Amino acid sequence: MATLENYLIFYVMEGQWPAFLVEIAPNKTVAHLKELIQAKKRDDFPSIGADKLTLYRVNATGSTLNERRDAVAQAELTNDCELDPVEYLVDIYPKSPPKKTIRVVVQLPPISKKRQRDLEEEEMPRKLRVIVPTASVGAFPEIFKQYALPGKDQIIKCNRPIDTSTIPLALLHGVFGRFIDECESFEPQVKENNFIQSLRSGMAGFFSEEGERQRKFHECFSEAYEIRLLATTTRHTRTTTDGHAFEIGSATSKWVIMITEAKNELAGFTADPRFQAILYYRTQVKTYPTELLKTCCFPAIILTCYDLGSSYTS
């Protein structure tokens, strides 16, 4: 009987990418495969033994990276496709697995909710670990300034006081520099003038409640620029803004790019709408993947709508 060549098996960690490769003899068991995977990924999960890994058999093939990634995402990890540690690989794969095919998805054991929170807090940048009140409460100036004044608890820099400035927006990325230039050089056209007139007319009305002014503000944006502002609970945060928009270039990252905060009339209100929107932004940023938080600072435009302006006539 001819000796079978070693198998080259591509695998992925559940919910992660890229794929990894292990070389193993076909007369080895799934238990041996677990040990090889654990050894290869020891730095990623040093406290998890090979016996705690769960392997699922999949057949995620495709001619391109995106096709294989989509195939993995669509694979159903059921008990029927779980690999038994005592099985021999030659019985599972009578022939060497084909090229450009992901054959195994590795599932780590569930982490307790408390331990998961601990891990997330350890990895989260220090300033985001500081617990602040909810946006509706923290927007009161007396509370907000506790986190804006210089000191160990300073986590928000919004040019108040004036020396608590941030990195200029134009220096974060070239595209923001172009945005600043266009803001200064752009000449309003008919479309922009129509929008301003619509907004001016709409905001000049009297509204019995904040929500009515908010909806009118959203209508003006939607009609002029087809920008849909969502007055809903932002994903993962349990907080509800008066309107926000996500970027549309990616279905996975969902960076928040605009937050609006509405007040009916400022008289009698002590929660500053700008502070409130800033805290909503901070809450949303905490939901971004940790690896992105460490390397990226993605800004959002904050719009506040309130009152109607004033003018004096003789």
pLDDT digits over 94-107, tens only?
A: 887 777 788 899 88
In this structure, what DSSP letter does residue 125 have? -
pLDDT value at 213 more than 80: yes
Nearest C-alpha neighbor of 30 from the set 92, 85, 108:
85
Q: Average pLDDT of 221-232?
A: 80
Which has more pLDDT, 152 or 29? Answer: 29
Quote the CA–CA distance of 31 and 55 in Å, as a whole number.
10
Which has more pLDDT, 177 or 83? Answer: 83
pTM of the model: 0.45
Predicted pLDDT at 251: 44
Predicted pLDDT at 208: 76
Write the pLDDT tens digit of every residue in 12-48. 888 777 788 888 898 999 999 999 988 888 777 777 8
Which residues sit opposite 244 in a β-bridge? 230, 259
Write the pLDDT tens digit of every residue in 227-256. 777 776 665 566 777 777 777 654 455 677
Which has more pLDDT, 125 or 305? Answer: 305
7-107: CATH topology: Ubiquitin-like (UB roll) (3.10.20)
Q: Residue 19 is encoded by which pair of tokens?
A: 């794929």
Predicted pLDDT at 314: 38
Which has more pLDDT, 266 or 68? Answer: 68
- 8 A C-beta contact, residue 9 and residue 24: yes
CA 150 to chain centre: 29
CA 74 to chain centre: 21
Tell me the pLDDT of the chain averaged across its residues.
Answer: 77
How do beta strands 301-305 and 256-262 pair? parallel
- In the chain, pLDDT over 90 holds for what percent of residues? 6
Lowest mean pLDDT of 30-34, 116-120, 282-286, 292-296, name the range.
116-120
* Residue extents of the structural domains in the chain: 7-107, 118-133+186-305
Most confident of 35-39, 40-44, 59-63, 279-283: 35-39
Most confident of 28-32, 69-73, 265-269, 281-285: 28-32
Q: Average pLDDT of 106-119?
A: 63
**Side-by-side strand order, sheet with 301-305:** 244-246, 256-262, 301-305
Lowest mean pLDDT of 137-141, 143-147, 223-227, 249-253, name the range.
249-253
Predicted pLDDT at 311: 42
Q: How confident is the model at residue 265 (pLDDT cuts 50, 70, 90)?
A: low
pLDDT value at 6 more than 70: yes
Most confident of 4-18, 31-45, 187-201: 187-201
Q: Average pLDDT of 270-280?
A: 82
Predicted pLDDT at 72: 82
* H-assigned helices in the chain: 30-40, 65-74, 89-92, 113-123, 126-129, 135-138, 141-144, 169-172, 174-185, 190-203, 210-225, 273-285, 290-293
Predicted pLDDT at 31: 92
